[in-house]
Amino acid sequence: MERFRVAENRVLDVDGHSFLFLVRENAIFEVAPEMKILLDRCSSNGDLSRDEILARIGRSPEDSVKTFNGLVRRRVIETRTDKAASPTGAQATGYSIPISTLVLHVTDDCNMGCLYCYRPPREKASNRPPEEKRMMTPEVAERAIDFLFERSGSLKKMVLVFFGGEPFLNFDLIRVAVKHAKQKAEESGKKIDFAVTTNGTLLTDAAVRFIQENEIGVTVSIDGFEKAHDRYRRFADGSPSYSAIVPNVAELVRASDRRPVVARVTVAGGAEDVPVILDHLLEMGFAEVGFAPVTTCDPSYQLDDDCMKQLLCRFGALSERFLSAAAHSDFFGFSNLIDLLVALHEGEVKSYPCGAGIGLFSVDPEGRLYLCQRLTGEERFCMGDLTRGLDDSKLRIFRGQAEADRKEACGSCWARTVCAGGCYHESLVREGDLTAPNLHYCEWIKSWLEMGLRVYGRIALDRPEYLDKLSIMRGHASA
């Protein structure tokens, strides 16, 4: 006889309403009080037969069956087979997965010497041989773009990202790459989007005009107001960079009427000023601001437990401001919360932390393929090259080890379908193993997810259409 049980879940009280978060489905929805009572009854008794569950529903036979079928359909109640279902993602679909995003590491060189940079310090870089400050050539860029289109399969839309170093040190190459990619897109009947991450110091009038003409999405690495930014983000000679970036950003946001400009803040040393930094950057004209704790083992910059608690507290305050804006259908550009709400709204179930080594790869100036931009240059994580293609055996090993279901510490974690163990580069730096879960901030992630779930519930109660708008803004189709 088939046995059933209540699926793994977490129940949250939001303003007197009960919301059910289904872990395996990454789905959240409101449940009536009597349904919560029913789930409690079924959860406390382990596996149950269909008749036992129908008896606990306690309605007319017809209504009980209808309720039972609805719970099964929404996967609130599952069978043992459902629970043991094979994992999603790369393991279930084989290894010839279409590539949707390619990151061109257009140069190793950078005109800044940020103290917390995960690359070798600038003072060491100046002593490197010239070949270690490589510039990608047009030939490599065009081969990389051809590779992207060849490996895109049936996908109709791809993304080409320019990264470095500082990408605009190789601006001429970016011009060539965009032209070639547009030509390939026209020939193949596909669409290609462009994005660049820059420190903002080389955004000349020509660069800004090019960005606007080609609708390139721009992320500027900037750490906030002058004192906060110049604390760690300085030029290679040690001079401050904030005053050089501000006029460039002003021109960029003025001219970028088609694609919003986003700021990325590296949080290092402490998190006290996060709300002030967000306000400052929004006032500068950035559409959104995202915060990322620095990835380092150096205690001079690393956020300790107290700082991470402080960061969570600041995120909580910003979340309240986000809710206040949402109540008036206004937009508040706090990227971290927006990304989380959209992931919940779309029911995005993660088997892997990100697309690295799945649908995303990075290409170095010599045409070698790596798992992602942050691992570019790490020979252990080279997955092939543009001439011979991807190394399927290495990818098979990586994907097998990286999947969240295979990480023992993640197996019973209720946040696993949202986190999936965390950033690979962060794991490598902090845990010493690329595919290890980021246990050093596991509890933080769960606290942040619970905060996001409560925000989601409050918006769902008052302005559910606002969640649809956020999803559309992130490129998802309207419900």
Domain shared by 322 and 222, yes or no: yes
Q: Kindly state whether residue 384 falls inside one of the protein's structural domains.
A: no
Domain shared by 112 and 65, yes or no: no
β pairing state of 101-105 and 157-163:
parallel
Chain centre distance of CA 263: 14
Domain shared by 206 and 111, yes or no: yes
Query: 33: domain range?
Result: 3-83
Domain shared by 255 and 226, yes or no: yes
Domain shared by 17 and 159, yes or no: no
Q: Which range, of 181-185, 210-214, 242-246, 294-298, averages the lowest pLDDT?
A: 294-298
Q: What is the per-residue pLDDT across 223-250, written as a single tens digit (0 to 9) for each?
A: 999 999 999 999 999 999 999 999 999 9
Q: What is the per-residue pLDDT across 202-213, written as a single tens digit (0 to 9) for each?
A: 999 999 999 999
Instruction: Give the model's pLDDT for residue 222.
Output: 98
Q: What is the per-residue pLDDT across 418-469, written as a single tens digit (0 to 9) for each?
A: 999 999 999 999 899 999 999 989 999 999 999 999 999 999 999 999 999 9
Domain shared by 71 and 102, yes or no: no
Domain shared by 10 and 101, yes or no: no
Domain final position from 26, 56, 83: 83
CATH number for 59:
3.90.930.40
Q: Kindly state whether residue 451 falls inside one of the protein's structural domains.
A: no
